Chain A
Amino acid sequence: MRPAGKGELDSLYFDYPHFPFVRPAELNGDQPRHRVAIVGAGPVGVAAALEFARQGIESVVLDDKATLNDGSRAICLSRHSLEILQQLGVEKPFIDKALGWTRGRTYFHDHEVYRFEMPHSDQERFLPMYNLQQQYIEQFLVDAAMQSPLIEMRWQQAVSDATQNDDGVTLSVTTPEGDYRLEADYLLAADGARSVVRKAFDLSLHGEAYEGRYVIADVRMKSDFPTERRAFFSPSVMPESTLLVHKQPDDIWRIDYQLLADEDPDQAVTEAAIRERVGMIIEMLGEDSEWELEWWSLYKAYTLALEDYRHGRVLFIGDSAHLVPIFGVRGLNNGLADAVNAAWKLAWVLKGEASEKLLDSYSPERRGATLEVFANAGKSTRFMTPPSRGYRLMRDAALSLALRNDYASSFADPRQVTPYTYADSPVTASGDAGFTAGPMPGAPLINRRLGEDDFLLDHLGAGFNLLVFSEDGSVTPELQTALTDLQARNTGLDVLVIARHFGTAPLGTTLVDRQGACFDGYDAEPGSAYLVRPDRHVTARWKTLDASTLNTAFKTALGEH
């Protein structure tokens, strides 16, 4: 919602683009067979299209809107998401515009009781978290998609129904110039919480709704306060409530506050009520400059998910598959992980490099991630908005002790998103007991610094990567033969040799690990190896690689046991 007299897209700082309707081939009498249709041009749908393009697969993206989403919505991107965006080749505008941050503060009864630092080190290219309004996130992704010859963006084209049979999927599409049927081999449903595709297949989300409603409001205000997450429990201006404050680019501040139990939500979201409440909060923050109201919305916490994220030839990604509470910034970040997980697997099936069995691993991996989110989000939601007298008393007890005792401050930790480890996935190999550190099978790669502005993850190829650790860049003749053989059969495999120092007889790309950061971080010795999927998760690792087992691991990774 926006102040009186302003249109839905009438922003103080953002010029919404207008995407014209382009008449599709289907309205001119053609019936092309698309490989992949993606419904929804939000950040999750467009990220999936970019991953398909990276894997060499064409896709068509449909959206009923003529522009980007209104309002700032999801504003926190995690390091893991930036690493996804880097692989998609689009991270630069994000880094240039977003505000990175590493720390936060918790207040109770107006006293600061806890400061937290998120894990960070000079081995990382990206900060733990970045704040950026969702319309910028969408704009940067859409800019890249419109440049791609493999992505067809179809704006102002609303999907009203979807059906499937053994051969493919058919969509009913409504446009300003008439209706048509679109045919595709597979469908990705990225059409959000009110997914039309989900309804078309009569599927529903299951789970629970939490007590408490939140208002999220954006204001424009000049302030020197650094980019940190601030949480206020029982502040004097609203003793029964919890507030969150985040800084965004363009002098925009996000203020979230909890409505009281007996408060009428319709009354609470009137402009007068928002202005009164936000004014009090800004005064409490000690800010004395002028502020302007930009946008606001009402929010309720849910933990809802589909029972299965795959329905035949349809894969559900992002909010169409699951709704999670905002605390912990998991909605968008997990949606991006869904997008690349679904897209690389489907791309490999469409390229004929994997059988359809690979798609069976999508739901266990990403639904597993959702269930872990639910476990954590339930705890943080009960902390942020205690559902009962008992939970409120315990929450206040923990916050009271937190100021002087570190055992209690952990309760105030925001439990923010961490990447999920696909340890139990059908396409993850069992572990090698020889390792005592480094990413286990199923976990994402960790970044390591190789030099000035040079990191391990900068060097990954688009397909599978095999990290081979070596003293001087050379490998055994047996491994050399096995790798040549494997690469001849699978075009999508890059070999990255990580050498302590550069020698002769290099194989593939050689990275020199002068400081030993990769060897240490991966608990590797010359002869160790990691097989890594296109989404940077480890399939298998070997303390000492036996070339004869490499082929088996590769089959496991592609769903052929």
Chain B
Amino acid sequence: MTTPTSTQTTLPFSDLEQVYEQLAVTLDAVPETQETLFLAQLALALAHRVPDVAQVMAAIQEARDGLET
């Protein structure tokens, strides 16, 4: 098994859980055909709030790597 890496966390886990729930509920409210567009918009909106572009690039790679699970 790969040893998981620790990302420097800025959001406590309980807050991340809230995000998880809110996203699940919002995704259910979005038509399935627009799911991808919604998630791509969200990625840009979140990236805009991150002051360090390297962090955003690392997150993109992280999500890409996750597809190989």
Which positions in A face B, CB cutoff 8 Å? 108-109, 111-115, 379, 382, 386, 388-391, 393-394, 397-407, 409-411
Contact = CB atoms under 8 A, between A and B. Distances in A.
Given A409-B4, A410-B13, A403 B26 contact: no
Contacts of A399: 69
A390 B2 contact: no
B interface majority secondary structure? helix
Contacts, number: 73
Given A389-B27, A389-B32, A401 B63 contact: yes
Contact of A406 (B5, B29, B63, B66): B5
A389 B28 contact: yes
A115 to B, nearest CB: 7
A411 B9 CA distance: 15
B54 to A, nearest CB: 16
Contacts of A409: 4
Contact of B66 (A112, A115, A390, A401): A401
A33 B9 CA distance: 64
Nearest to A399: B69
A379 B17 CA distance: 9
Contacts of B4: 114, 402-406, 409
Query: Contact residue range for chain B?
Result: 20 to 34
18 contacts: A113-B69, A114-B4, A388-B24, A390-B28, A393-B24, A393-B27, A394-B23, A400-B67, A400-B69, A401-B63, A402-B4, A404-B2, A404-B4, A404-B65, A405-B4, A406-B7, A411-B17, A411-B20
Nearest to A110: B69
B21 to A, nearest CB: 8
A407 B2 contact: no
Contacts of B24: 382, 386, 388, 390-391, 393-394
Contacts of B5: 404-406
Given A389-B27, A398-B20, A400-B67, 7 more contacts: A113-B1, A393-B27, A394-B24, A403-B1, A404-B4, A406-B6, A410-B16
B69 A108 contact: yes
